[in-house]
Structure 1
Amino acid sequence: MLNRSIALLALVGLSLCVPASAQSLISRYVAGEDYKVADSAGPSDNHGAVRVTEFFLYSCPHCFHFEPELNAWRKQHPDIAFHRVPVLFGPGSQPYARLYYTEVKLGVVDRLHDQIFDAIHEDGKPLSSEGQMRRFMVAHGVDGQRFDKVYQSPAVDQKVQAIAARMQRYPVMAVPSISVAGHYWTSGRLAGSNERMLKVVDYLIDRSRGAGAKTGG
């Protein structure tokens, strides 16, 4: 009886001393539950950095509330290649996609991306038409003629047309969603919350680096 008690105590002691690496294996996230695996990977053009892509929609309140959390997370991951893709959920989302790629072409996305979210969700300005978008951009220092030229440009057309294929690859059914290395994707709905989604993304980044997965997206 004494020997059995000693053996049980020894097992308890061992369980308390399990290294962090082994604990992470026990608590790791599960494919099909916390994240999914894409059928095909995207291009690998990020010079070795893991490509992380956020799928978002300007009119989505969940994306708006997620943005500060995402910005803080990005500051902790300066070594990733971060990208955004505006989703196409119905015809009303296409103008927002055009607006985003217009910002990119004009070189103002870092300055105005968050302000567009604020205008829509805090100031009550839907920015749902080209005219409304133009007035907003002009009010924030963008030349109106430059905006007109870029918003209706073939380059922006091409970017918007490419969105559907990228959404189909994962496929994106809700936003915000995030793909990692062009091979994995997860969402707040899939992970259980936006906060937990970022933890899943951390896991997938580490997994991609360890497995040498492609860094497309």
Structure 2
Amino acid sequence: MKAMKQCCVVLLLALVSSSGWAFSLERYVEGVHYQKVEGGQPQPKTVVEFFSFGCPHCYELEPKVEAWVKSKPEAVSFSRVPATWNQKFAVLGKLYYVIEALGIEEKAVPAVFEYLHKQNKTITSREDAQTLLTGLGVTPEVFNKAWNDPQVETNANTAGRIFAANQIRGVPAVVVNGQYQTSVSMAGSPEDLFEVVNFLLSK
């Protein structure tokens, strides 16, 4: 009888342990912390942030994005897609692709956010964009070449289709491995967002 009780206790502990392990593996739940992208094509080890320089929530999230990018595994690819929903966002979206083409994201991305949200200035035209980048050391010749680059134009024109394909309806949002979408509101907080991102990278 005593041996049977001991066996039952061991079995119960095993079940509790197994249940706890399963819970830890699925700490984040589909439909709550993230959702699947319908028709999303698998792109392993990729993280894409959908954002806009003009979005105050994206500005608030940016320090967390920068910290995560610096700590992410080297095998994980990070990229951004800017919103181009209206004329103002379209200019800011093209500005992002100019910055990307020039390879000055590390310096220019935080500078643009600060310019718009801390200094309360505006960027609504090509001239505004050029003024900002000139202040960061980009010559007018280099700026004009990048602004007129066919690849920059193509990227800016196709950003909206990428948003639609990933079912993005607000920014900031993040798509992981081409199949899972999450956001600050779904994750619960900016800190939790990148915990969810790391979780989804392992799926």
TM-score surpassing 0.5? yes
Q: Counterpart in 2 of 1:83?
A: 79
Q: Structure 1's 18 and 68: CA in aligned 2 closer, same or farther, altered over 3 A?
A: same
Q: Counterpart in 1 of 2:64?
A: 69
Q: Structure 1's 111 and 42: CA in aligned 2 closer, same or farther, altered over 3 A?
A: farther
Gaps of 5+ in 2: none
Confirm whether residue 123 of structure 1 aligns to residue 119 of structure 2: yes
Q: Counterpart in 2 of 1:170?
A: 166
- Cα drift, residue 76 of structure 1: 2.1
Deviates more, 1:33-42 or 1:93-102: 33-42
* Structure 1 residues 52-88: Cα deviation after superposition (integer angstroms, max 9, x where no partner): 1111100111111111111112222132101111112
Cα distance in 1 for partners of 2:149, 2:107 equals 21
Deviates more, 1:73-82 or 1:55-64: 73-82
1:190 is matched with which residue: 181, 186, 189?
Answer: 186
SS at match of 2:202: helix
SS at match of 2:53: coil
Contact 1:54 1:177 survives alignment (8 Å):
yes
For normalisation by structure 2, the TM-score amounts to 0.85
2:199 is matched with which residue: 196, 203, 207?
Answer: 203
Q: Which amino acid aligns with 2:51?
A: F
Q: Counterpart in 1 of 2:31?
A: 32
- Cα drift, residue 89 of structure 1: 2.5
Confirm whether residue 152 of structure 1 aligns to residue 151 of structure 2: no
Contact 1:41 1:182 survives alignment (8 Å):
yes
For normalisation by structure 1, the TM-score amounts to 0.80
- Cα drift, residue 8 of structure 1: 9.6
Gaps of 5+ in 1: 208-217
SS at match of 2:27: coil
Q: Which amino acid aligns with 2:191?
A: E
Confirm whether residue 59 of structure 1 aligns to residue 54 of structure 2: yes
Confirm whether residue 112 of structure 1 aligns to residue 111 of structure 2: no
Q: Counterpart in 1 of 2:130?
A: 134
Q: Which amino acid aligns with 1:91?
A: Q
Cα distance in 2 for partners of 1:43, 1:111 equals 31
Contact 1:37 1:170 survives alignment (8 Å):
no
SS at match of 1:126: coil
Contact 1:174 1:189 survives alignment (8 Å):
no
- Cα drift, residue 120 of structure 1: 0.9
SS at match of 2:175: strand
Q: Structure 1's 85 and 206: CA in aligned 2 closer, same or farther, altered over 3 A?
A: same
